[in-house]
Structure 1
């Protein structure tokens, strides 16, 4: 796992554990959160007005994929 000088994982989309694009899994791994909670909050956020889907797609395009093989 690639880490910064602070021993925190870098924000990448993991090669394993993805559901759609790996954005939620990457965010959960980066901040040390439970991936199920991040996924539930992401799905729940779709029901409130705002650009959540566009932000998810943009993050999918901008966050690099993990270079490690699954």
Structure 2
């Protein structure tokens, strides 16, 4: 049987900035609002987690979702 996994791509419909969190949430079947909130909280609370840098790198590396 072929692998039917969803692609790892930035979301076109579920986006606040670039669709990175929406794409990750869609890929794993998570709630995108909760994922965004968790990402912001971890980014602010942890000096060891450079949230803005991680988001920018994901924005550059993740392909745009196909229509």
Whether TM exceeds 0.5 here: the answer is yes
Following superposition of structure 1 onto structure 2, how do residues 47-62 of structure 1 map, counting pairs within 5 Å? 47=44, 48-49=46-47, 50-62=49-61
Gaps of 5+ in 1: none
Backbone CA RMSD of aligned residues = 1.1
Give the corresponding residue for 2:62.
63
Measure how far apart 1:67 and its partner are: 2.0
Gaps of 5+ in 2: none
CA distance in 1 between counterparts of 2:20 and 2:43 reads: 15
CA deviation digits over 1:15-63, x for unaligned, max 9? 1121011010000001111111111111112211122210110001100
Shift >4 Å, 4+ stretches: none
Give the TM-score normalised by structure 1: 0.82
The structure richer in helix per residue is 2
Give the corresponding residue for 1:11.
8
Q: How many residues align?
A: 64
